[in-house]
Amino acid sequence: MSHPAQTAQSASQHLAGKVAFIQGGSRGIGAAIARRLARDGADVALTYANSPERAAEVVRDIEAAGGRAISIKADSADAEQIKAAVQHAADTFGKIDILVNNAGVLLLGNVAEGELPLADIDRTLAVNVRSVIVASQAVVRHMDKGGRIISIGSTNADRMPFQGGSIYAMSKSALVGLTKGLARDLGPLGITVNNVQPGPIDTDMNPADSAFAADLLGLMASGRYGQVEEVAGFVAYLAGPEAGYITGASLTIDGGFGA
């Protein structure tokens, strides 16, 4: 097995000299994105809300591989905390080239049966949608031409094949329109804005060995869950120089969940 530092050296460094800010980088897909962007050469600032140890572990892994990273406690439901975290990252690394809006919550409940309290609806919108607007606004003043804003939506924006997911699906659908509008607003600044829509990915939020997973597998062309590294690779491509003509797009990586 190769040492992490060797892996970092042998990998493509197409993000060398870039700085990435990742909302929600302590676990799951966000942690994989942090590791991957660092492997590709970027300095990484990642936020966390409830998992300081997991965030510190991601930072340690990146540093052990020869990269630079910091973790910042910031609840994505709180606009002031997001703004302060963005400022902290820009002060530390001098600029921000790549914003990844990964923080998300999945709060399920059948609306018809009144299972979802208003507080859960508000929290879903604050974390999954409003944080994207707040972070984008905050980051833009630190971002030059060639900047990248990438949100992690969901294939549930297009297909919600089970009960109880209406509010989550609504929040991820909101990102489709938001991405288009932001792409128009930021196009003149040379910044691209895109929305990555994963299907079922094996994480704490959606473990591949649950009873729920067994039901989902039957709905997929691939018949398997995706791995966090597969989403991270897609994000790394969108963050890089080859993806400069992609903007305003919602791009699905879902193993055929929506096919």
Region of residue 81 (left: phi > 0; alpha: psi -120 to 50; beta: else): alpha
How far apart CA 203 and CA 230 sit, in angstroms, is 13
Q: What tokens does 47 get?
A: 């936020």
Is 34 or 140 the residue whose CB approaches ligand NDP more closely? 34
Binding site for ligand NDP (CB under 6 A): 24, 26-30, 47-51, 75-77, 102-106, 127, 152, 154, 198, 200-201, 203-206
Q: How far is the CB of 164 from ligand NDP (least distance, A)?
A: 15
| 168 counts as catalytic | yes
Q: What tokens does 188 get?
A: 């003149």
- What are the angstrom distances between the C-alpha of 249 and each of 135, 229, 252? 19, 21, 10
Catalytic residue among 168, 225, 237, 245: 168
Is 30 or 147 the residue whose CB approaches ligand NDP more closely? 30
DSSP track, 5-67: HHHHHHS--TTTT-EEEEES-SSHHHHHHHHHHHHTT-EEEEEESS-HHHHHHHHHHHHHTT-
Q: How far is the CB of 9 from ligand NDP (least distance, A)?
A: 27
How far apart CA 191 and CA 177 sit, in angstroms, is 17
Q: What tokens does 208 get?
A: 């591949």
Is 51 or 250 the residue whose CB approaches ligand NDP more closely? 51
Is 19 or 201 the residue whose CB approaches ligand NDP more closely? 201
- What are the angstrom distances between the C-alpha of 106 and each of 116, 163, 170? 12, 13, 11
Q: How far is the CB of 148 from ligand NDP (least distance, A)?
A: 17
How far apart CA 23 and CA 104 sit, in angstroms, is 9
Instruction: Give the residue among 41, 111, 27 at the shortest CA–CA distance from 69.
Output: 41
| Cβ–Cβ < 8 Å for 120, 133 | no
Is 53 or 113 the residue whose CB approaches ligand NDP more closely? 53
Give catalytic residues, as residue numbers. Answer: 168
